């Protein structure tokens, strides 16, 4: 069975975006070694999943990008979870509009490499609240936002699997539910 891995950037105080949803605060600490870690995480995926807002932003950016993340984002199949989106025009994308837990269970049963979930905050919280995430890959950036979009909404015990510090000050923490 495939694992569902949630990869997301987070501030030291647990936010994945500012109150307005901005994520510009991640870039100052996104060093070459952190970028390489993120790129490797993307390449290890067999399927990328995301909610509608993240899909729309990525679909507008990655098809014409030459950045290091472009190839794995464009070439690996994508599933967007939405009940309102009618078309998924980004190459190798499809829409899942059924029950989130049922759709994830179906994806986990398919052969292949792990499923990589991309935030937004709402999608990440939904996956966590339903206990669908098998592994959390949190890239913690050395910034305190004070307020914003929280990563978690419910208490959860996690087991630390690994920690990697990067030259720009960000730290990758890999956790599994305890």
Q: What is the pLDDT of residues 31-55, one digit of tens each?
A: 999 999 999 999 999 999 999 999 9
- 4-11 and 135-141 beta bridge pairing: parallel
pLDDT, one tens digit per residue, over 54-68 is 999 999 999 999 999
Please give the pLDDT value at position 38. Answer: 96
Please give the pLDDT value at position 119. Answer: 78
Please give the pLDDT value at position 62. Answer: 95
Regions in the chain scoring below 50 on pLDDT = none
Please give the pLDDT value at position 153. Answer: 84
- Residue by residue, what is the 3-state secondary structure of the chain? CCCEEEEEEEECCCEEECCCCCCHHHHHHCCHHHHHHHHHHHHCCCEEEEEHHHHHHHHHHHHHCCCCCHHHHHHCCEEEECCCCCCCCCCCEEEECCCHHHHHHHHHHCCCCCEEEECCHHHHHHHHHCCCCCEEEEEEECCCCCCCEECCCCCCCEEEEEEEECCCCCEEEEEEEC
Please give the pLDDT value at position 136. Answer: 97
3 near 135, Cβ under 8 Å? Answer: yes
Look up the pTM and report it. Answer: 0.94
């Amino acid at each position: 069975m495939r694992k569902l891995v949630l990869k997301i950037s987070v501030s030291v105080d647990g936010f994945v975006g500012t109150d307005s949803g901005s994520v510009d605060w991640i870039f100052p600490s996104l060093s070459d070694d952190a970028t390489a870690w993120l790129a490797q995480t993307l390449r290890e995926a067999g399927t990328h999943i995301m909610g509608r807002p993240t899909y729309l932003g990525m679909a507008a950016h990655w098809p014409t990008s030459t950045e290091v993340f472009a190839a794995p984002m464009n070439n690996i199949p994508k599933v967007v979870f939405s009940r309102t989106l009618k078309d998924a025009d980004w190459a190798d994308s499809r829409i899942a509009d059924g029950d989130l837990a049922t759709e994830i269970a179906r994806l986990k049963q398919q052969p292949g490499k792990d499923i990589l979930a991309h935030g937004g905050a709402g999608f990440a919280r939904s996956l966590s609240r339903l206990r669908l995430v098998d592994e959390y890959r949190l890239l913690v950036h050395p910034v305190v936002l004070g307020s914003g979009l929280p990563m978690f909404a419910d208490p959860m015990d996690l087991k630390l699997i690994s920690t990697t510090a990067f030259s720009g000050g960000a730290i990758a923490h890999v956790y599994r539910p305890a």
